[in-house]
């Protein structure tokens, strides 16, 4: 059984402010360690639940956040840029996906470090008129390969979003969002315990035959991005992108994954390392 773990940083145990997330942030080195520890908890839970193989994808920012020397040696690590498609090695051979350290979609009240893709420039992201966060985008991309998202970790708002989008998903709530830069959180040690237990349950249930929710595949996909500043919309307007209003740019794709480079299976590249 193969599990794919996508790792962001905003929803990691012990992180509550952007100082942990930015390479020039005062606490970025601490954020790297905390993200690696949450990831290792998920890896341990996956293997103890019955996984034979685990791939970890370092997805925050420009990647390169996880401390490779401290990563559980049983896991394979996908890191670096460019990421085309968004999730290399995520295809029909994967049995389930974990979304670790994720955050609620842009505009979620009281959510810790909420945003969708770009906290600096994106105000709202919709597909066929429905607002999506990163959890929804990534669950949709996985669903196009027939792979369910079986676990999500982050704050309580992210977990509620996950349970709304994917009924029956396992969630690991490691903090209670109070504001964009504030949270009431578990200690990292306790957060690791919660993530480990949820990861183990998720894989055990999958092995036992549980059918996790797959979101409906959207095809075709009309994507609208509303920017915070008109100058960002100015820059985005162009090929395959039309202006809807001063702040919103619309693009159309055969599938949502095509906005992010398509599916890995489209590449016909096999995984060779073991």
| Residues annotated catalytic, as ranges | 115
CA-wise closest residue to 226 among 126, 137, 113, 105:
126
Buried b (16+ CB within 10 A) or exposed e, 21-31: beeeeebbeeb
- CA 199, chain centre distance (Å): 15
Q: Which residues contact 144 (CB under 8 A, 6 or more apart)?
A: 217, 255, 256, 257, 263
């Amino acid at each position: 059984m193969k599990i794919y773990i996508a790792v962001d940083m905003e929803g990691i145990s012990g992180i509550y402010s952007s100082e942990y997330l930015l390479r020039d942030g005062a606490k970025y080195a601490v954020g790297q360690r905390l993200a690696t520890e949450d990831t290792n908890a998920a890896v341990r839970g996956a293997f103890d639940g019955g996984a034979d193989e685990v791939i970890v994808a370092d997805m925050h920012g420009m990647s390169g956040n996880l401390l490779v020397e401290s990563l559980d040696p049983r896991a394979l690590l996908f890191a670096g840029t460019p990421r085309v498609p968004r999730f290399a090695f995520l295809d029909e051979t994967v049995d389930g996906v974990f979304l670790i350290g994720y955050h609620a979609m842009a505009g979620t009240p009281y959510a810790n470090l909420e945003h969708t893709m770009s906290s600096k420039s994106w105000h709202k992201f919709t597909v066929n008129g429905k607002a999506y966060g990163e959890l929804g985008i990534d669950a949709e991309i996985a669903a196009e390969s027939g792979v369910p998202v079986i676990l999500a970790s982050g704050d309580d708002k992210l977990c509620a979003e996950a349970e709304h989008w994917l009924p029956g998903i396992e969630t690991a709530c490691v903090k209670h969002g109070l504001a964009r830069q504030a949270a009431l959180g578990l200690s990292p040690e306790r957060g690791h315990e919660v993530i480990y237990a949820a990861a183990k349950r998720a894989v055990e249930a999958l092995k036992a035959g549980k059918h996790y929710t797959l979101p409906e595949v959207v095809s075709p996909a009309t994507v609208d991005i509303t920017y915070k500043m008109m100058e960002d919309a100015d820059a985005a307007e162009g090929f395959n992108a039309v202006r809807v209003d001063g702040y919103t740019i619309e693009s159309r794709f055969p599938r949502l994954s095509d906005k992010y480079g398509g599916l890995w299976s489209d590449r016909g590249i096999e995984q060779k390392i073991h």
